[in-house]
Structure 1
Amino acid sequence: MIAAEDCVLVLLAAGRSQRMGDLGSKLDEPFLGRALGLHVAVALEDMPFRERVAVVGKAQCNYAAHGYTTVRNDDPALGLGRSVALGVDCARAHGAQAVVVALADMPRVTATHIWHLLEAADGPDAVVASSDGISPKPPAIFGRNRFDALLALEGDQGARDMVRGGKHVVTTPAELIDVDTPEELERLRALVGDPETYTRLRRS
């Protein structure tokens, strides 16, 4: 297990929301009484991370109010890899033994699941990702020996190859819903009233 106190949480919130049409930044869209992009920040606010870093773009979410250091990605067109590298660079400066990388457009992620990821992490070479029972995805943990590889990421592929080769901790599909389109946002809102379809664990 890697202790939360030894980790920096890196929240990626600099996406361009290109598939949202005229809605603007998806992270500013309302969901259950707050901006979509703030749900993960609130869900993880009691975890004792060494530091919290939000890599931000055009969204108006106030991450600083939830204890985050904000790092602006001034060129999100360079892709997800650029945001990951900015967050990891900040984590390294804080002496992190690992980073927990989460996405701000995944509003259902819980602290319980992050604790399970930490329990599965076993040292500086660790790569532990989430899974819905079918495919691996964020949130994910990377030990400090993976920092150089993360800093070298380019484009939108992010750390997919590392994630595929790492450990995978299964949780419900509902927890790992991300929002990229208006239709996905509406399905997320419908889930609140009719969760049954999305809350069974899948087995690959």
Structure 2
Amino acid sequence: MISVENTVLILLAAGQSRRFGDVGSKLTEPFLGRELGLHVAVALESMPFMERLAIVDGGRIDYTPHGFTQLHNHDPGEGMSKSVKIGVQRARELGANAVLIALADMPRVTATHIYRLYDAVDGMGAVVASSDGREPRPPALFGRDRFDELLALTGEHGASQMIKAGRHVVTAPAELIDVDTPEELEQLRALVHAPEAITRAGARRSD
């Protein structure tokens, strides 16, 4: 049986932010009064995961006050798959029945949606991903029978092929926005009337 209580949450918070420009890390950019990369951690705080792992590549954001153990990916240039494998290996050592993989640059994910992923689980070989109605994406849930596949991943795209072949739970597109560029962050700020929506030349603060 897969439940929240026997699942390890893996929050992917390592990466080089190449598309975002020379800002050090996009995850430290302000959004709705806190750092962008903390929103998912806060949104899922009430869920009783077996363990919470934040895969990081530096000390820019401290996830430990939100119940996370921080594991370091010392070579994020190897791609997202390296961070996934670090988290899955620890989950296997802990005896977890599943992992939930979430991205720190998706600040609008809710616990309500994550619980809906669990409703679609059909066994230890489950792969249940999120979808905006057009394409599947994280957050995604993987049963322990899929751990070997996750540990064999290579490259930047992580578990994308496994996600495409799995079950998909549709939610509002706005909940699954991920932020890769300054323009996407500005669009998100405008969408939710964030007070930070003022950075580009000619942009107006949202009312």
Do the two structures share a fold, i.e. TM-score over 0.5?
yes
User: Separation in 2 of the partners of 1:23 and 1:184?
Assistant: 15
Who is 1:165 aligned against?
165
Amino acid aligned to 1:80:
M
User: Separation in 2 of the partners of 1:155 and 1:161?
Assistant: 12
Who is 1:52 aligned against?
52
Retained in 2: the 8 A contact 1:28–1:59?
Answer: no
Query: 1:77, CA displacement in angstroms?
Result: 0.3
TM-score, normalization: structure 2? 0.91
Who is 2:115 aligned against?
115
The farther-off stretch of 185-194 and 7-16 is 185-194
Query: 1:119, CA displacement in angstroms?
Result: 1.1
Q: The residue matched to 1:84 in structure 2 has which SS?
A: helix
Who is 1:104 aligned against?
104
Amino acid aligned to 2:137:
K
Retained in 1: the 8 A contact 2:58–2:72?
Answer: no
User: Separation in 2 of the partners of 1:85 and 1:22?
Assistant: 27
Q: Kindly provide the CA deviation profile for residues 7-35 of structure 1, in whole angstroms up to 9, marking residues without a partner as x.
A: 00000000110111122200000101110
Q: Which has the higher helix share?
A: 1
User: Separation in 2 of the partners of 1:123 and 1:61?
Assistant: 35
Who is 1:197 aligned against?
none
Amino acid aligned to 1:152:
A
User: Separation in 2 of the partners of 1:136 and 1:59?
Assistant: 31
Query: 1:58, CA displacement in angstroms?
Result: 3.3
Where does structure 2 lack aligned partners over 5 or more consecutive residues?
195-207
The farther-off stretch of 12-21 and 185-194 is 185-194
Q: Kindly provide the CA deviation profile for residues 35-91 of structure 1, in whole angstroms up to 9, marking residues without a partner as x.
A: 000000000000000000000013611101110011000000000000000010111
Retained in 2: the 8 A contact 1:130–1:140?
Answer: yes
Q: The residue matched to 1:88 in structure 2 has which SS?
A: helix
Percent identity over the alignment?
Answer: 65
Amino acid aligned to 1:36:
L
Please list, as runs of the form range in 1=range in 2, the aligned pairs for 1:1-204 lying within 5 A after superposition.
2-58=2-58, 60-193=60-193
Amino acid aligned to 1:135:
E
User: Separation in 2 of the partners of 1:153 and 1:59?
Assistant: 26
Query: What RMSD in Å do the two structures reach over aligned CA positions?
Result: 1.2
Q: The residue matched to 2:153 in structure 1 has which SS?
A: coil
Q: Kindly provide the CA deviation profile for residues 88-137 of structure 1, in whole angstroms up to 9, marking residues without a partner as x.
A: 01111111100000000000000000000011112110000000000000
Larger Rg: 2
User: Separation in 1 of the partners of 2:76 and 2:82?
Assistant: 7
Amino acid aligned to 2:27:
L
Who is 1:202 aligned against?
none
Retained in 2: the 8 A contact 1:14–1:59?
Answer: no
- Which stretches of structure 1, 4 residues or longer, exceed 4 Å deviation after superposition? none
Who is 2:200 aligned against?
none
